[in-house]
Chain A
């Protein structure tokens, strides 16, 4: 019996084994992390409760910087989600085979990041129990949302994005959970059986499944480009200097992919080490991800320079003053920090040796996340703090309340992710097997 395999490459049964062993009762280290994350989340929830009790002023919001940290972090989390959809939908359509071993983790990341982002408009709104006012629903007063407002577009874009990401994620999980079901016993088997929807891998199931998966990818591709464009319209439609720019949509989408890939690296590198998945997440994958971070970083730098250039070339006094204030006034640290983290530090990825070094990858990815958070801060806070008239200028200072809520949002994201990797296959069994050589009795047959 000859199986067309290269040495060291896992066989199909190995894939099932290596994924199934990650699902189950974890050790003490896992629970320690869970406790830590749970504690931070608890502090975040307490801070939110405090903010609801005392009022939104607890978040340090005062005119003119009313958007401050919450919208900064909202845009940050929405951006994180983008790399997941890029990997699961766009690279699927392009048949990029290297996506298979990282796509499940990154898709989970997308769903959890959008779930985290979705909290911020609620937190930011203060009286979040009125958040449903943004939804169009029949009511006694015949009041409908203002569909000309970018904030309402945002509601539609983000709810669609969350729904489609969840659908895509769950559809992808079905055949894998069936593999888990067939290996489990007792109560676990029953739960997995329900989630697997009775999947058997019959030809008629695959036929409709594959077609549906391809179409979902085709729908998710324009969606992912539209979501961050719509988020950018929240700014670009306003007249604030530094915001009112046609550059914003591609600028935001590119930044989102950049930060999303950094987050994928932060999640995937420890998983590869802890789960011993070196056979699946290889140097090739790290190299490809690092290259994408590098490319998006270069594009981002171009956008930064464009922003400065257009402010100067426009001759518009307010645009110039806004850029000047960002670079030299009270928030200059954020401006130059952003340049360092997003434009300079990823340049080390020009060296192949660094692209394959996990420590470097991890450190640069953290810097990129910090840089991308600073970028959104730079757009929102200094932008609002320094608009047209000196008498409306102001400075925002973070408070314990809003900082704790933001720390809590990270805890919420990691709690969801930690929970996920222990109950669901965080490596796609089916897709990884699909790109491995298929078992053949006669090695020459079947390879057309």
Chain B
């Protein structure tokens, strides 16, 4: 059970990356990395062991629901009143494709938003204990959840990697 958390504050991308690699080499997997901007190198390092974000699945499902809704709405409502308008049959596909397309984008976009909020656990009502306001400015943070016995080891590791500041 992880009961302690150690936070290392870094000023550079390379030192942060180094800390992540060292942590992983020692078998620590339960850590959070805070960055002011998304950094490709750090992302690659973290993503290499974690599954890909599932946002795209939500987008796909939303988009397909939109397409189906678009066609269903147009076809079903046209069959309610089978009127020939503009010399076209009540159910004529070309104009309905436009509605289906727009709803594909609409539902897909909204599903993407929902996915980002759900998977990213947003909105977050209480700040994490390890969060520091400098992480939206120019500092990087590596917060490690570990057992109290290993906390000292983690502290030493983060310091060696080049942390400006390490705290529990």
Contact = CB atoms under 8 A, between A and B. Distances in A.
Interface of A: 1, 11-13, 16, 136, 142-149, 152-153, 156-157, 159-160, 163-164, 167-168, 171, 174-175, 178-179, 181-183, 194, 197-212, 215-216, 219-220, 222-223, 226, 230, 233, 430-431, 433-434, 438-442, 445-446, 448
A230 B55 CA distance: 29
Contacts of B36: 12, 179, 201, 430, 433
Given A16-B136, A157-B102, A208-B55, 8 more contacts: A153-B98, A159-B106, A198-B124, A207-B47, A207-B120, A210-B43, A226-B98, A438-B39
Contacts of A212: 55, 112-113, 115-116
B94 to A, nearest CB: 9
A145 to B, nearest CB: 8
A226 B101 CA distance: 9
The 10 A-B pairs at the shortest CB distance, nearest first, are namely: A198-B124, A144-B77, A182-B133, A212-B116, A12-B138, A197-B123, A179-B136, A211-B53, A208-B120, A211-B55
B108 interface: yes
B74 A13 contact: no
Contacts of A157: 98, 102
**In terms of DSSP, what is the predominant structure of the interface of chain A?**
helix
A142 B109 CA distance: 30
Contacts of A434: 37-38
Interface string B83-100: 001101000100110110
Given A136-B73, A207-B53, A219-B105, A201 B13 contact: no
Nearest to B31: A203
Contacts of B136: 16, 175, 178-179, 181-182, 199, 201
A142 B103 CA distance: 22
**In terms of DSSP, what is the predominant structure of the interface of chain B?**
helix
Contact of A148 (B80, B92, B101, B126): B92
B81 A144 contact: yes
Given A147-B74, A208-B119, A216 B109 contact: yes
Contact of A156 (B15, B52, B99): B99
B24 interface: no
A159 B122 CA distance: 26
Given A200-B34, A203-B32, A208-B116, A215 B137 contact: no
A201 B56 contact: no
B128 to A, nearest CB: 6
A149 B99 CA distance: 11
B17 interface: yes
A206 B35 CA distance: 9
B14 A445 contact: yes
B41 interface: yes
A167 B98 contact: no
A167 B38 contact: no
6 contacts: A160-B102, A178-B136, A182-B134, A200-B34, A219-B105, A431-B37
